[in-house]
Amino acid sequence: MTSPKDRVVIFDTTLRDGEQSPGATMTHDEKLEIASMLDEMGVDIIEAGFPIASDGDFAAVSEIAKNAESATICGLARANFKDIDRCWDAVKHAKSPRIHTFIGTSPLHRAIPNLNKDEMADRIHDTVTHARNLCDNVQWSPMDATRTEWDYLARVVEIAIKAGATTINIPDTVGYTAPVESADLIRRLIAEVPGAEDVIFATHCHNDLGMATANSLAAVEGGARQIECTINGLGERAGNTALEEVVMALKVRGDIMPYTTGVETTKLMAISRRVAAVSGFPVQFNKAIVGKNAFAHESGIHQDGMLKNAETFEIMRPEDVGLSETSLVMGKHSGRAALRSKLKELGYDLADNQLADVFVRFKALADRKKEIYDDDLIALMQDEERTGEDRIKVDRVRVVCGTDGPQEAEITLTIDGEAHSSEATGDGPVDAAFNAVKALVPHKARLQLYQVSAVTEGTDAQATVTVRMEEEGRIVSGQSADTDTVVSSVRAYVNALNRLLVRREKAGKDAREISYKDAG
């Protein structure tokens, strides 16, 4: 199985490796939505999850496989028959299924299962053979390949090819390698391993040293024809190769990298925003391609050049990635038709009942803000989506703050359909409000991150608040936006608590471990 020399296959692992980022766990419906968006934008392969990991993962991979229109649906499996069988049971429903099996081959990783080189080689042969007997599309990965001895790496790659692997993925699992090494390793494997000409070589890079995109593109130069990546570079530690970066790099620099992908780049901004919303990981302002400042110009020299010729300081057009120019046409006098049209332009196609709910919130926002920017509407939509089936909802927030402390907060929450109220003090209005929430929803989670960023300009701007919490190894994130920073903070905190409930349930514990105190 060979790939055209100028075609690079895009393998997205947002739903698997991306979701492994601490706190980035997505719900079942969110996974299905992201998979649908990936499929629609032309991603070749979607790694939908790790089916053996949990019943929830299996169900998500299985349903994604059933719903996929064009993309190959892949599941991950360790090097054992049970994992592989479970993976096949999940992906076999797809029009184009793939089994991805892996084992750590570096000295450090061989020590984990306590296998010597020969024993590991035998396991690779047996498990890849088993996978190929189930599915004719099998990917094999030697985890931590870039720190595996060359002779042994070449040996096990040959074994996997002979056992029936159709794609050989070379992971830089800890983000250790450099671009010149990445290219040389792929080039040497293709040149020296028997049977290499019959398979596709793939690259899977992590960003620990900030070189994931560079390493991936270098691997393509070395002969790799599949790039593994995630939306926004989401992933463990410093993340994975960012899909939007490699796709746009190949598109913009076709003069030195004459390769194409099947990705519809105008859909990049919409999926970036959606992944940021459901994962709770906001995109940094200066993030390449999809960051808020990616097409912003403040320097006078830059602005003057842009007015005369956009190509002076822009190597790609905002519309190439699906970014429309922010406008100020929306306000409190705008009607439903105008709102529907604007939301559709931003990538939100709403049914009548959804539009009715959003319109109420839009009018409330318009009463508080003079001008409604596109980013305000996006924040509003993301907030709407986050509060759908939550067990805990914020009804009322009132704080007293100033130079004379302690600050006070009164909170009313609806918990499983019943209203509960609480009062508390704290070191500042946010601390007081969080204490009031905790009085109603006792927990032992530790607040790891509290971050505030303005959605747009002005003193009436919406504040997007992100919180990250950890309890017994479970990490959850929450986000919300409001013109009132304290209200936004409380909603983000409650959003994280709702996710904690879901994580507890997924961990097999009764969600009722969070006890609700009736405060009147």
Neighbouring CB atoms inside 10 A of 403's CB total: 4
pLDDT value at residue 354: 82
pLDDT by position in tens, the chain (length 520): 344 679 999 999 999 999 888 778 788 988 999 999 999 999 999 999 999 998 989 999 999 999 999 999 999 999 999 999 999 999 999 999 999 999 999 999 999 998 999 999 999 999 999 999 999 999 999 999 999 999 999 999 999 999 999 999 999 999 999 999 999 999 999 999 999 999 999 999 999 999 999 999 999 999 999 999 999 999 989 999 999 999 999 999 999 999 999 999 999 999 998 898 888 788 888 999 998 788 763 334 333 443 444 555 467 888 888 876 544 457 777 888 888 888 887 778 888 888 888 888 888 888 877 677 777 787 778 776 655 568 899 999 999 999 887 899 999 999 998 999 999 999 999 999 999 999 999 999 999 989 898 777 777 788 889 899 998 888 888 888 888 999 999 999 998 998 888 777 766 643 334 433 333 3
The verdict on whether omega for the bond into residue 258 sits within 30 degrees of 0, i.e. cis, is: no
Report how far residue 18's alpha carbon sits from residue 231's, in angstroms, rounded to the nearest whole number: 8
pLDDT value at residue 314: 61
pLDDT value at residue 325: 56
- The amino acid that residue 358 corresponds to is V
Q: Where are the alpha helices (DSSP H) in 241-351?
A: 243-252, 268-279, 300-308, 336-345
Residue partners of 125: CB distance under 8 A and separation at least 6: 159, 160, 162, 163
The pTM is what? 0.79
By residue count, the chain amounts to 520
The secondary element (H helix, E strand) that includes residue 215 is: helix 212-222
Of 279, 208, 267, 271, the C-alpha closest to 237 is 208
Backbone angles phi, psi at 170, to 5 degrees: -110, 100
CA atoms within 13 A on the CB side of 148: 28
Cβ atoms of 202 and 235 closer than 8 Å:
no
pLDDT value at residue 389: 62
